[in-house]
Amino acid sequence: MASPMRSLLTDPARYLQSFRLFLEKSTEHQSMREFMEKQLPTLIASIGNGKSTINILSVGGGAGEIDLLILSKVQARYPGVTINNDVIEPSADQIFKYKERVAETSNLENIKFTWHEETAYEYESRMNAEKKSKKWDFIHMIQMLYYVKDIPATIQYFHSLLEAQAKLLIILVSGTSGWETLWKKYGSSFPLNDLCTYISSADLRRMLDSARLKYQFYELPSHMDITSCFTEGNKDGELLLDFLTETREFSKTAPPELKRQVMEELKKPECSEKRDGKVLFNNNLGVIVIEP
């Protein structure tokens, strides 16, 4: 009998709804912002040396929250320098939000934005077809490698586009996070099809080591409040469960035994901690900065 469980990515509107709730209920962006404030200035300190224009490529830029923070740090390091910021983002809805955000932000006069409504793979294919291999001073891929078919090939491709002083920054869930525990144990039961692959910073580091790429690694603490997941019928809880399992309507479509096991797992100390009556899921992030 065919399972009624379907990948969350087959319903883009629900995926975005659950993703935005995840951002609201987690310290994801706070943790990233802290990293961008404290660590990024050192990492980008020489990407634009001697250049009149700095080229930045955002792969999976989403609605631009973190992109604009990165750009502000590049502007602070290289005042007055022209910045070309190209964004690869397959969701028209996210691009629309990104453009709105740019329109509402001041001090972007020296930045030229170009949006490409396509996946990383479509971008690569198009560049190859047009025989273009534009080089970049900074490339970032934040929380997007899960949606790539061939991860090593994708990293190799974008790595090949780095200028001599450039950096490739990747953010993923950490190998120490609750995601790692949940997905290593139950990932094979979730309806991933070919839209999504589970990968953590630990997996990525193994890939980079075997490709002999040089990189720096940072661990960012982060958590997500999943208390609502344990109230039967709670709309937010259902959306967060969808996001955690990448399954559309997980509460309603998962076999009862799988649902019971997942709910148990989410409460375990390997996944979450209980604090002030809340269940906080370990959402730690791994940041990897690859050298050219």
**Cβ within 8 Å of residue 43, ≥6 positions away:** 167, 169, 216, 289
Tokens 């906080």 sit at which residue?
280
Q: What does the alpha-carbon distance between residue 48 and residue 50 come to, in Å, rounded to a whole number? A: 6
Numbered residues of the known binding site: 28, 283
Please answer whether residues 83 and 75 qualify as being in contact, where contact means their C-beta atoms are separated by less than 8 angstroms: yes
Complete DSSP assignment for 46-108: TTTTT-SEEEEEEET-TTSHHHHHHHHHHHHHSTT-EEEEEEE-S-HHHHHHHHHHHHT-SS-
Q: What does the alpha-carbon distance between residue 292 and residue 138 come to, in Å, rounded to a whole number? A: 10
Numbered residues of the known binding site for substrate: 28, 283
∠ CA 17-21-27, nearest 5°, is 145
Please answer whether residues 47 and 83 qualify as being in contact, where contact means their C-beta atoms are separated by less than 8 angstroms: no
